[in-house]
Structure formats: structure tokens, C-alpha cells
Chain A
């Protein structure tokens, strides 16, 4: 555990929470992750390593949502067309709506280089890279989408909208247009309308996730650039950058449109007023950071064994609770993400990992732990942004307001203290306080 205790800087008496030290750090404007240079290096390195595959994920997610749509056998959905590589990220480049990254708007050069030759570093037909899994592991992105779809009910106005008559009518129009010359699919639609509707909702969630990550990629690229320039004094600075970014982009529209022929058809129009913060970011953090689902082969699904919660609210299989050691085992989707990130680690992290644990032999697990630290920092930014948006400033002179902030922080951390299903042991918040956790 860290040697120095964080004394409370508020006017309140010390917290008696099991994670009181973390509470005091949050109340002082910090992160759940301790402020050390080593932590800062790890999290920024992983943000950069994540941003490159994420640049592929968001583009391909939009391609799948907008153009693959309800294709019954989408064998080539991961073969991203040039059009989507050239698509301008709305938050980078000279023509950005709001420039989050100083860099360019089209696909990142490191991504393009990797797509060209893969880990094999060979110029062979794309289909062989694809079948050998020497490519961006898009399956991970779709697994995140599936987590959001399967959990649903995580708030926002898009949620009830997807069950509304208006959505069904929009979807119906798009489905009929998409399968206009296909009597077999139109016949299947007549027989199984609910199945097609659910496939359409899946497509909508694909668009939501694509639009969510369209923001996160330039944010992470910018953070990496700022770090390289020495612009972050510590972990709280990095967290604050995320907090400001969350606010800046909160109002970004969330929508779903499909390209049929040369026409765009709206299934979820921009005019509905759905926003990045309420309809994408909050549900995403809940579904993917906290809940997801147990990985095949790691938990018993036997109902009598009660190893898996009956209530989806109690699911605790996201990054914040993840045991990083089995990374690399089959059936664990984050392995795919970690392999992706492994390809884009900054040199300073490669050098760092070579000096610890088993060096190159377990770099995948070392980076997985760094990644977990980085996502605890992102979660801290979401928690602090939530506090700023919904509650009070950290230096509010009114003790009643400070107490409300404390209840909020303690309520958030209580999620890591629940003994049901061993959630308190699974949560990694305690372990990330220790620099030797690797």
C-alpha cells in the first residue's frame, strides 16, 4: 500500500469508508489512481496504445451500422472500405466541429501501417491476414456493443425510444428499403418481424458505440501528445483533461442512419436530441466498465450454484473487476483488445515492461494491468464530471453541499465493497493503490 496517507482537505470530518484514503483523494480533486509518475506513464502509454485500434473500431462500427446493416451473412464486415478510413473524425483535423486532437482527421498512420502488413510484417493478401487474426480484433468492439445491447435499461432517452412506435416505423422503412429486391429476406421479415427489429436495435447500438469512440480516439491521441511534451504534471492533470473533454463533448448528437443506395435513411434522427453524455457515455461506462458478462469457461452458469447474479445490476465482470492473469486464455474478449494494444505500445512502455516481471514473455499481462489502471482513471474522470455536473464544486463553502459530494463519492465506491458474489474481492481498486501490482 502507499506510504503516505491523504489527509482530508475538506471541512468535513474524515471519512470512515473502507476506502477512506481514496475518498479523500477524490475530494481533493484527484483520481482513484494514486498520483505517481509511474502511474502517469502507464496510463498515458495505454491511452495511446488503445487509441490506434480504437480508430479502427469506431470507423468499422459506423460502417457496420450504416452500410452492412442487416446483411444476413456479413462475411466482410471487418474489411473496412477506404471511404471509412478517409472519413473525417469530427473532432480532429482542420475542419473539426471541435478540435480535440491537434492532429489529422483521417485514419491514423500507425493503423494504416499495421493494416498493410500486420504483425507478420508481410505484404500478403488481406484475406490471409484476416483468417490468421493478424489484424485489428474487431470482435472485441462488437462484444462491447453486445454488452450495451444485452444490458439495456442503463438510462438515457434512447433506451425507451428503441421500443417506441416511431422507432419501429423508422426501422420498418429502412428494413423494407434495404431488402427491396430480396423476396427471401422480405418473406423472413414478415414471418419474424421482432427478430428483425432486434437486429435493427443491435445495429443502432453499433452506431452509438461508434459515435462514442469517435470522440475517445482523438482525446487519447491528444493526451499522449501532451504527455510527450511534458504537459501533464501528474495523474490528476490527466484526469482533469478527461473531465473537461467530457463536458466539452457532452452535447454531441447520438443518432443512427443507414445508407441504402445513395440515400441516407434515419432510424434514430439527430433531431431527437440524444446526447453523447446521457445516451452513450454513461450507459457505456455502466455496461462495459462495470457489468459486461462472465467470460465463457470462467464461471459456472448453473443457476443452483448461484455464481452468476440473478439481477443484471449486480453483474461485475467489467475492467474494474477484472482478474488480468487469465488474459490470453481463449474465450476472453479483452485478450483481443490487449493483443491490439500490444501492437501500438509506445517505446517507453516496452522498455519499462522489459524491466519487470517476465519481461517480454508476459508483456501482454503487464500491459493489461496498466490498462486497468488507465480505465480506473477514466472512471474517476466520469465520477468527477458527474460530481461537477450534478453536485457541487470541491471547494464549495457550504458544508451541506460538501456532505452531498461525500455521499456521492462514497456511494460510487460502495460498488466496490459489496460482498455479494465476491464483488468486493473482485474489484481491483485496492490493488491499483499499490505500485507493485503488475
Chain B
């Protein structure tokens, strides 16, 4: 079976991701046995980022690697394994919030447009947005917004 990297390389829709992963020297890691669950943004997902975002990241490899490792989780989790699971911890260290049910499969603010692409060393879920880490203040702000004015 092909590895996560093989699948990404063979699909034109992941060419931006492949370039980023190579630039960040993460190819070897993503070819290792793992297993890994990768939330893989498409080229269109990267294109949604404002001009200059990728330029700055590509100039600064440790910072780029941080954004990329945020899209990887240790372990193999297919959609059925994640139903009802609230979050996973990414390799970057920050959690990814999940909303997984029969009708939906969302990770942070990204929607999974193709789930469960199996690889030799894990599984890929294709997403439509590049995910960015949610800072700690995000959660109390959202809670406050749901509860209403104090």
C-alpha cells in the first residue's frame, strides 16, 4: 500500500501541501511507520489564505513545520472511530476540535470533503481549509458568546 506521502505526491490536488511538507523537511517523518492521521488541505484550501501568508511561512521553516504538524495526529483514526470524539491532540501539541456524526465531519473550521483515504502508515482526511491553532482565549470567548452578557 502506498504511504501517506505517496498518496499526496500522486494527487495534483495536494501539490501545495507536498511542496510545504518538503520545504519543512517532514517527508521522512510522514513516510515512517507511524501510524498517523493527516488532515490534508487541498491546493484550494491553501489558496484561500491571504497573499503573503505562505511566503512568510516558507521563509521560516520552523514556523511552517509548526502549522503542518498541527494537521497530523499520532494514531490511525478513521471517521467511524471519531464519531462523538470532541478533540484530538495534534503533533504540534495543540488540540484539534472535532464535530463528527453521520451527517458531518469537521475539524476546527475545516470540513472533511473526503474521509478515510487509507495508507500504509495511516489515514488521510481531505479538508477544505488550512487549520490554525486555536489560542487558549478562544474557548472562554465562545462560551461567553453562547451564555450571553454577564
Q: Taking beta carbons and an 8 Å cutoff, which residues of A are in contact with B? A: 17-18, 97-98, 154-157, 243-244, 247-253, 270-275, 278, 282, 286, 386, 389-392, 401, 404, 406-412, 414-415, 417-420
Contact = CB atoms under 8 A, between A and B. Distances in A.
Given A249-B56, A282-B135, A418-B150, A408 B109 contact: no
22 contacts: A18-B149, A98-B59, A156-B135, A243-B50, A244-B50, A248-B55, A251-B57, A251-B67, A253-B60, A253-B62, A270-B62, A272-B62, A273-B66, A274-B63, A282-B135, A401-B109, A408-B142, A410-B148, A411-B141, A411-B145, A414-B149, A420-B150
B132 A389 contact: yes
A97 B53 CA distance: 12
B150 A417 contact: yes
Given A98-B52, A250-B53, A250-B56, 15 more contacts: A97-B59, A156-B135, A248-B53, A249-B52, A251-B67, A253-B60, A253-B62, A270-B62, A272-B62, A390-B108, A392-B109, A406-B145, A408-B142, A411-B141, A418-B150
A301 to B, nearest CB: 25
Contacts of B51: 244, 248
Nearest to A412: B141
Given A282-B137, A407-B145, A412-B141, A252 B150 contact: no
Given A390-B109, A410-B145, A412-B141, A278 B150 contact: no
A386 B108 CA distance: 13
B64 interface: yes
Nearest to A401: B109
Given A17-B149, A390-B108, A251 B56 contact: yes
Nearest to B69: A273
A212 to B, nearest CB: 14
Closest 4 CB pairs of A and B: A248-B52, A411-B145, A407-B145, A273-B62
Given A273-B63, A411-B145, A155 B150 contact: no
B145 A252 contact: no
B134 interface: yes
Interface residues of B, number: 36
A139 B15 CA distance: 49
Given A155-B136, A273-B65, A278-B133, A97 B56 contact: yes
B145 A390 contact: no
A17 B147 CA distance: 11
Contacts of A18: 149
Given A17-B149, A418-B150, A275 B50 contact: no
Contacts of B64: 251
A419 B150 contact: yes
Contacts of A392: 109
B55 to A, nearest CB: 6
Given A98-B56, A247-B53, A411-B143, A275 B63 contact: yes
Given A273-B66, A282-B137, A251 B149 contact: no
B145 A251 contact: no
A273 B143 CA distance: 30
A273 B140 CA distance: 26
A98 B137 CA distance: 29
Interface in B119-150: 132-138, 140-146, 148-150
A407 B146 contact: yes
A407 B145 CA distance: 4
A408 B141 contact: yes
B17 to A, nearest CB: 16
A98 B55 contact: yes
B49 interface: yes
Contacts of B57: 251
Contacts of B63: 251-253, 273-275
A248 B59 CA distance: 12
Contacts of B52: 98, 244, 247-249
Contacts of A275: 63, 66
Contacts of A412: 141, 145
B135 A247 contact: no
Contact of A390 (B49, B56, B62, B138): B138
A202 B90 CA distance: 31
Contact of A247 (B49, B108, B145, B146): B49
A251 B62 CA distance: 9
